[in-house]
Amino acid sequence: MFNEELAEIFSELADMEEIEGQKWESLAYRKVSASISGLGEDIREISRRNELRKIDGVGNAIEKKIRQYIEDGRIEAYDNLKKKYPIDFKNLRKLQGMGPKKIAALYTNLGITDIPGLAEAINSHRIAGLPGFGVKTEKNISSALNVLMSAGPTRIPLGKAYGDIMEIKNFLDRSGLFDKVVIAGSTRRMKETIGDVDILATARDWTRAGNAFTSSDYVSGIVVRGDSKITVNLKLGITCDLRFIDEGSFGAALQYFTGSKEHNINIRNIAISSGMKLNEYGLYRDHVQVAGKTESEIYRKLGMDYIEPELRENTGEIEAAIKGDLPGIVGYEQIRGDLHVHTKDSDGLNTLDEMITRGKENGLEYMVITNHSEGLKVANGLDDARFREMNQRIEEASSRLAFHALKGVELEILKDGTLDLGRQILEEMDFVLASLHQYISNDESENTSRVLKAIKSGLVNGIAHPTGRIIGKREPYKLNLDRIIEECAINGVFLEINGDPYRSDLPADIVRRAKDSGIMFSLGSDAHNISGLTNIRFATAIARRGWLEGKQVINTLDFNNFKKLISR
C-alpha cells in the first residue's frame, strides 16, 4: 500500500512536469513510479538497508524525495506543484486517451479538476469548442467516461487491492488479539472488482481487537463504530466492515457475508421449504440451531454438497450441489506454470533473471517468456534478430538458474490477419500467443476474421486476452466469440485467461460458456514486473469461477507433459 501511494505521487509529479514542459523530469518521475509499483517488497525496508539507489531510476535527487516521504509523509516538490494544479490526475488518467496535456487544457480553460466536473462539461457541450478538441474529441471523452462509470466509480480491480487486503488480514493475525480472521464478501468469491471489504473475526476482547484495527496504518478514518461492527475508510480507497462473530455462529455468518445476494436468497428459500430458517446466526428448526459453526454443516443440513465461494453466483451451482454434480474446480495449488510473462527486453520492468528467480521463489515449475513482437512499436517489440538473441539468453538462464524458462512471444495479429513474424522464427519458439492490440474495427466480422486467420495458421498455440477489454477503460472488442471458440476447438488452439487485474480476460461467464466446447485454457499473469507474477492467482480464480476443472487448464500439467502438449 505504501509503495502504491508513493508511486502515484511520482506519477502525478510526472504529469505536472509534463504540463510544465519539463520533458526529462517527467520521464524520470514516470520511470521511478513504474519501478516502485513493481517492487516486490516495501520500499521502506529497502530504505532501511540504504539500497534505494538499486531501484531502477533512483538517483540522488529522487532518493532525497523518497526519504522525505518516508520520514515526513510528504514531498515538497509535489506539494508546490499541486498548489498550481489541484487536479485529480489519478481518476482523470483512467479515461482512455486522456493524457496530461488534455487534462491541463481542461483545467486551464474550464476549471475542470475531477470526474464530476468533466461530466458536467460534457453534458453542457463545453469541450468541443476548446482549441485542439472538437466534436469528435468530446464524443470520445464522453464514451470513455461512460465506460469508466459503468465499472462503478467506487469499485476497484480485485488484483489491485488483494495484496493490501491480505496485508490487513496478516496484521490482525499477528496482533495476538484475534482468534480467527477471515475475509468474506466479493473478495472471497474472487470477483473481478470489489466495492468494499468484509472481514469476520472472533476475539476474546472485542474492544482491544477493534482498537488495534482502527489505529492501524491501513485505516484513514472511522465511519461508524458499534459493539460488534466497525466500518472504516481504508487508505486503499474503499470502505471495510469488521464484524466480531460468536464462534457458534461463525460458519453461518461466513456463508451469509460471503454472498452473493442471489445465492443467499435461493439458499434461504430452500431452508424455508425444508421447514427451517437460515440467517447470519445459524440454521434453525423450531427456534433451535441445527447448524452454524461451519459452512459445510449448513450446506449438508440443507441436502447439498459444499459450494466453493467462487461458484456462489446463483448460476446453477445450488442445483448441481443438490444433485451431487458440482465440478471439481481447478485448485490454486495445482498451477505449475505461468504462460504469459514479459521482461524489460520489450515493455517489462524487470530482467529475465529477476522474473525467473521470482517465479521460482513463488513455487512455479516453469514459465514462458512472451515479449511483444516488432509490430507493437509502443511496447518496444522484438524483431527476428532480437528474438534469437533473447532465446539464447532464455536457454542459458534456464540452465544456470535450474528453472524451466521457455521461449515464447506475444505475437501481433496484423490488420489483414497475417502474423507479425515469419514461419521460421515462430517455429523456433516453444509457445506462441497471438493477440489483437491495433487496428480494432467497429465491424465484428472484420475483427473476428483476423483472429480466425491466426487460429488457422498452424503457428499459434493460444489467443491472448481474447476480448481485449480493459476494465473501466475499454469495452470488449466486437467479436464473434462463438466462432472463435469453435475454431480453437477444431485447431487445438488454447484460449488464454489473463490475470492482469485490469484485463481479467476471458471473463468468467465466457469461460463457463466455452468450458464444454472441447477447448483447453492457458493461464497467464501477463506480468510486466516481479510483483505482477502474483496475477496468476487471479487468472486461476477466473478459471474457478468459470467452473473449469484441472484437466481443462494446461498450466496444471507437469513440465514434461506440458512440453509434449505444446509441441507443434
Would you state the pLDDT for residue 52? 93
Q: Which of 122, 71, 67, 128 is nearest to 92 (CA)?
A: 122
Phi, psi of 313 (to 5 degrees): -125, 10
Q: How many CB atoms lie within 10 A of CB 112?
A: 23
The three cell numbers of residue 116 are 464530476
153 or 217, greater pLDDT: 217
Tell me, yes or no, whether 397 and 312 share the same domain: no
* Same domain flag for 437 and 546: yes
Across 306-317, average pLDDT: 97
Q: What is the pLDDT of residue 204?
A: 95
| Domain, as residue range, for 92 | 2-150
pLDDT, average across residues 97-112: 87
- Indicate whether 150 pLDDT > 70: no
Q: Is the Cβ–Cβ distance between 548 and 511 less than 8 Å?
A: yes
Instruction: Specify the number of domains making up the chain.
Output: 4
177 shares its domain with 278: no
CATH number of the domain enclosing 54: 1.10.150.110
Asked if the model's pLDDT at residue 154 lies above 80, the reply is: no
Mean pLDDT of the chain: 93
Number of H helices, E strands in the chain: 24, 17
Which ranges of 456-535 does DSSP label H, i.e. alpha helix? 481-491, 508-514
At 167-189, the pLDDT tens digits run 999 999 999 999 999 999 999 99
Residues 546 and 433 in one domain: yes
**CA 12 – CA 113 distance, rounded (Å):** 13
* C-alpha cell at position 516: 464444454
Centre a 10 Å sphere on the Cβ of residue 437 and count the other Cβ atoms it contains. Answer: 17
The continuous run of DSSP H or E covering 372 comes out as strand 366-372
Helix, strand, or coil (residue 542): helix
Residues 180 and 215 placed together within one structural domain of the fold? yes
Mean pLDDT of 86-107: 85
Cell of 140: 470520445
- Contact call for residues 498 and 504 (beta carbons, < 8 A): yes
Percentage of the chain lying above the pLDDT 70 cut? 99
Looking at the structure, tell me whether residues 238 and 253 fall in a common domain: no
CATH code for the domain of 307: 3.30.210.10
Question: Which CATH number belongs to the domain containing residue 199 in this structure?
Answer: 3.30.460.10
* Amino acid in position 492: G
| Same domain (yes/no): 234, 254 | no
> Do 214 and 81 sit in the same domain of this protein?
no
Alpha carbon of residue 462 to chain centroid: 20
Domain limit, last residue, from 279, 296, 323: 323
Task: Give the domain-ending residue among 263, 293, 323.
Answer: 323
Coil, strand or helix at 297: helix
Using the predicted structure, report yes or no on whether residue 568 has a pLDDT greater than 80: no
pLDDT digits (tens, 9 = 90+) for 245-298: 999 999 999 999 999 999 999 999 999 999 999 999 999 999 999 999 999 999
**What pLDDT score was predicted for residue 217?**
92
Grid coordinates 466497525 are at which residue? Answer: 230
Rg of the chain, C-alpha, whole Å? 25
Contact in structure between 428 and 458 (CB atoms under 8 Å)? no
* 137 pLDDT above the threshold of 70: yes
Strand 239-244: give its sheet, edge to edge: 180-183, 196-202, 239-244, 229-234, 219-225
Q: Which three cell numbers stand for residue 210?
A: 477493534
How many other CB atoms are found less than 10 A from the CB of residue 150?
A: 11
Measure the CA–CA gap between 381 and 371, rounded to whole angstroms: 7
The confidence score (pLDDT) of residue 409 equals 98
What is the per-residue pLDDT for 108? 87
Residue 464 has pLDDT above 80, yes or no: yes
Specify the pTM: 0.82
Lowest mean pLDDT segment, chosen from 193-197, 221-225, 487-491, 544-548: 221-225
Same domain, 95 and 173: no
Burial letters for 178-206: b for 16+ Cβ neighbours within 10 Å, e otherwise?
beebbbbbbbbbbbbbbeebbbbbbbeeb
Percent of the chain with pLDDT over 90: 77
Helices 100-110 and 115-123, axial angle in degrees (round to 10): 70
- Relative to beta strand 229-234, strand 193-194 is unpaired
One domain, residues 47 and 101: yes
Residue 417 C-alpha cell reads as 490477419
Element spanning 404, H or E? strand 404-412
CA 253 to chain centre: 27
pLDDT digits (tens, 9 = 90+) for 414-431: 999 999 999 999 999 999
533 three-class SS: helix
CA angle 304, 520, 339 (to 5 degrees): 110
Spatial contact of 335 and 555, defined as CB atoms under 8 Å apart:
yes
Q: Which helix (H) or strand (E) holds 156?
A: strand 156-157
Q: What are phi and psi of 521, to 5 degrees?
A: -120, 145
Residues 39 and 132 in one domain: yes
The mean pLDDT of 341-370, rounded to a whole number, is 97
Report angle CA 346, 432, 191 to the nearest 5 degrees: 80
The pLDDT tens digits of the residues spanning 198-237 come to 999 999 999 999 999 999 999 988 888 888 999 999 988 8
* SS3 assignment for 8-40: HHHHHHHHHHHHCCCHHHHHHHHHHHHHHHCCC
Joined together, the cell numbers standing for residue 347 give 515493455
Q: What is the distance of C-alpha 427 from the center of its chain?
A: 32
Cα separation of 40 and 351, whole Å?
14
Q: Which of 180, 211, 244 is the last residue of a domain?
A: 244
Backbone angles phi, psi at 35, to 5 degrees: -65, -45
Both 377 and 468 in one domain: the answer is yes
Weakest mean pLDDT among 38-47, 98-107, 163-172: 38-47
Residue 321's pLDDT is 98
Of 101, 528, 216, the C-alpha closest to 346 is 528
Cα–Cα separations (whole angstroms), residue 298 to 217, 243, 310, 316, 385: 37, 20, 17, 18, 61
Residue 55 clears pLDDT 60, i.e. is over it:
yes
